[in-house]
Amino acid sequence: MVTIQETGAGRIGLAQLEPSDREPLRRLFYRLSAETLYRRFMSPIARLEQVPTDRLLDVDHRDREAIVSVDDREIVGVARYFRQPGSDAAEMAVVVADAWQGQGLATRMLAALAERASAVGIQRFTLIMQADNSPILRLLRRVDPSAKLALSQGVYETTVPVVAWMINLRVQPSACCSPGGCSVRSGTLQARVVIGANA
């Protein structure tokens, strides 16, 4: 991992995921509940061996990027994008470990991810999420209130300009603390926001 925001004073740090981060990433998925895994991958995961770790570690920091939240050298959340070939659009996904949900980690990771995407010419994020995932829908409405959602078989799909993520997800540097330092709100903040085998 390459640190982009330091951990300190109960604050969760952010880092770029590297291909060598297999073990910390694998440990993240062991922390996720069955519901969180289902929302991230939009299908039931019976065995953690089914999680496509190799694909998730396939980052080049241009067409494929991943930002992680780090607490005491452990990954507790990951947001990533995968550029659609020959396009200025990328599919995007985010997940936060259950004990760290509701603290703004998804917001911080997505803001950092959007900045990186913009720097390499990505202009739009494509999102796919379950229609009953209220937290990610609230976040989406905060980012782009005019986003058009297409519903098919209980799944929403939309495209949002990267600049909307950058402008509307500005967070204070002191935001987010460890589970011991802040109260954890109930509910599921993570979401599987992209479909297919890419992000």
Q: What is the pTM (predicted TM-score) of this model?
A: 0.80
- CATH number for the domain harbouring residue 129: 3.40.630.30
User: What is the model's pLDDT at position 125?
Assistant: 95
Residue 182 lies in a domain: no
Minimal CA–CA distance to 97: which of 73, 71, 80, 77? 77
Q: Three-state secondary structure along the chain?
A: CEEEECCECCECEEEECCCCCHHHHHHHHHCCCHHHHHHHHCCCCCCHHHCCHHHHCCCCCCCEEEEEEEECCEEEEEEEEEECCCCCEEEEEEEECHHHCCCCHHHHHHHHHHHHHHHCCCCEEEEEEECCCHHHHHHHHHHCCCCCCEEECCEEEEEEEHHHHHHHCCCCCCCCCCCCCCCCCCCCCCECCCCCCCC
What is the predicted pLDDT for the residue at 1? 80
Q: Is residue 198 part of a domain?
A: no
Give CA–CA dist 87/141, Å, rounded: 25
Residue 41 lies in a domain: yes
Q: Is residue 181 situated within a structural domain? A: no
Q: Which domain holds residue 78?
A: 2-168
Residue 102: its pLDDT value, please? Answer: 86
Q: What domain count does the chain have? A: 1
Strand order in the sheet with 124-130: 2-5, 13-16, 64-71, 74-83, 89-96, 124-130, 155-161, 150-152
Mean pLDDT in order along the chain per 10 residues (199 residues): 76 90 88 81 65 80 95 91 94 91 89 94 92 87 92 91 87 38 30 33
Average pLDDT of the chain?
79
